[in-house]
Structure 1
């Protein structure tokens, strides 16, 4: 019996473990004030990409057994600010069920009066409410809620130990990247869905078909396909997108933004205006 549910997860997990080992190396060895700051600056965007893989893991766990999944989620928690089962409750059980209804969506982009939030407003509000909303969803998911609360307590305890040992390095190597990555995760959700009021999956998400973006995020740009069948492994999303493409309006394609596109990032495009590409099976 193999350790991984899907063999294509082996290389990503190795990369996440390597990044975490580098984080620990900087944390334990940095003696100058500038190195942790530089580390934060260098890794703020890549850890935002790791957030996409944490997202994929919450949909389709990468390991077959609970223990390695929980260990990976501790690593993800330090890299992305999203602890074990927080994304499962808030996003998989919550957002995916309710995203077509802006009165219920756990990542809603509408204000109470029905108007559309700005991106900063959305990102700040939904970052602050991410964990309370995950907890609220968990009331109806007692098994997942128990794991969520226990693992969140473990994550806080481990972070507390790191701060006790070296508060400065813990702040810049772990806590601030966690906060930044959570914010970036929420911000990305805004551009996947803002302004789209629909009753069908094919009309409710923006798609990004840029090769580099999908390489770094595990094909998260094929967002319509992801919402149509959210239990599909990330490597299968390009194939599913190809099946759905005829029903996706051409207006629902966007640029990936910085650092992949520096001119007019996040602009709407025609699907043929950028390089089609993905991580394929």
Structure 2
């Protein structure tokens, strides 16, 4: 009996667990003041990538059995600041339904007066409202809300025990990375839909084709395909994008962010007709 819904998830889950094992090792073994701070700095970018996989997991859970999914979500919670079912409520049954309507979108990039937010304003607003908006959506989905609230309680108790044992290491190995990862995740989503006010799904998302970016984020760069069929497994997004390539405006592409591109990070791109044609070819 296989534990995974899709075999492609086995290596990513192993890597997440290895990263968490390193977190736990630093927490219990670090006796100098600087090591937890160094580990905190080194972990910011990798845990930002893990946030993308947490996102995929809450669209389509990686394990076939609920207890294993809940355990993995505890790990994700410590790594990304996004606990069990938070992405599901805020993002899957929130943002994905409402992202074409800036008055309802849980990740809206417009202010109430209709003007566009800047990067920092959007990132702070999305970070600070993430859990209240998830709770609000959860009132329409009581079963998911119960899991969301009970798993928050589990996460808080575990974090409390870690602080009780060693507050300094818990601060830099777990709590601060959780907060920063949540902010970095919100910042990254700013570039997914910013400025695209449309009712057409094919015209509502920016895409990133960079191979390294998609390898480490589970093909999150194929964002139009993801919004078109959000329950599709991450490994199948490039094929769906190829089917849709001719319908996606050639101007809806971006460079990836740091560390993939240091100059012109997140800059908009316009593909040539030949590049679009190449994307649309099978394989």
For this structure pair, what is the TM-score category when the shorter chain's length is used for normalisation?
over 0.9
Q: Alpha-carbon deviations, 1:106-148, whole Å to 9, x = none?
A: 0000000000000100000110000000000000100000000
Q: Alpha-carbon deviations, 1:51-88, whole Å to 9, x = none?
A: 00000000000000100000000000000000000000
Correspondence list, 1:214-225, <5 A: 214-225=214-225
Correspondence list, 1:132-281, <5 A: 132-271=132-271
Structure 1 unaligned spans of 5+: none
Count residues in correspondence: 277
CA–CA separation in structure 2 for the residues paired with 1:271 and 1:3 = 41
State the secondary structure of the residue aligned to 1:271: coil
CA–CA separation in structure 2 for the residues paired with 1:48 and 1:88 = 18
CA RMSD of aligned residues (A): 1.5
Runs of 4+ in 1 over 3 A off after TM superposition: 271-274
Contact 1:209 1:271 in 2 (8 A): no
Structure 2 unaligned spans of 5+: none
Question: Which deviates the most, 262-271 or 143-152?
Answer: 262-271
CA–CA separation in structure 2 for the residues paired with 1:257 and 1:189 = 11
Shift of 1:270: 2.5
What is the aligned partner in structure 2 of residue 60 from structure 1? 60
What is the aligned partner in structure 1 of residue 88 from structure 2? 88
Correspondence list, 1:114-129, <5 A: 114-129=114-129
- TM-score of the pair, normalised by structure 2: 0.96
CA–CA separation in structure 2 for the residues paired with 1:137 and 1:271 = 37
CA–CA separation in structure 1 for the residues paired with 2:188 and 2:224 = 14
Contact 1:219 1:234 in 2 (8 A): yes
